[in-house]
Amino acid sequence: MGPDGDQIGIRPLAEALSIAQAHGLDLVEVADKAEPPVCRIMDYGKYKYDAAQRARESRKKSTQVVVKEMKYRPKIGRGDFETKTRKVRDFLTAGNRVKITVMFRGRETLHPELGQRILDEVSEVTGDLARIEAPPRQDGRNMVMVLAPDKRTRK
């Protein structure tokens, strides 16, 4: 292809290079597997710059999904529970996913219903903002649940 996008046809390499140099442009091989190889006459520096700008623009539009974590204990006090849950609500309103972990120590592992109760209460308090992405499950000495911000409630 020529500098204006028009077809030049099959030319020997030396002639194609001289046409590109006459226009002050580069001869760029577009399809090397084709027979004969397809080349284009263009400003390669400008092409690379435009490609970098498009890539930067697409990165700017994408959002990073962040997973925040909040840790609870089975014997947590009421005030601590409310403070931590308020922080979970803040994370969810900011659009972050939240991993909620209830950590058991010693014989507390024999009473998983205590951790289940805490996770149920957290999901109940944040129910207007979030949906449960991963239901509560026992993971060794921890009980884990993941909440994701609910798209319908976000502005």
- pLDDT attached to residue 86: 92
- What pLDDT, on a 0 to 100 scale, did the predictor assign at position 10? 84
Own/partner long-range contacts of 64-67 (Cβ < 8 Å, ≥24 apart): 65/96, 65/97, 66/96, 66/97, 67/96, 67/97, 67/98, 67/99, 67/146
Q: What is the pLDDT of residue 153?
A: 55
Confidence of residue 150 (pLDDT cuts 50, 70, 90): confident
pLDDT score of 3 more than 70: no
User: Would you say the pTM of this structure is higher than 0.85?
Assistant: no
Check pLDDT > 80 for residue 85. Answer: yes
Percent of the chain with pLDDT over 90: 32
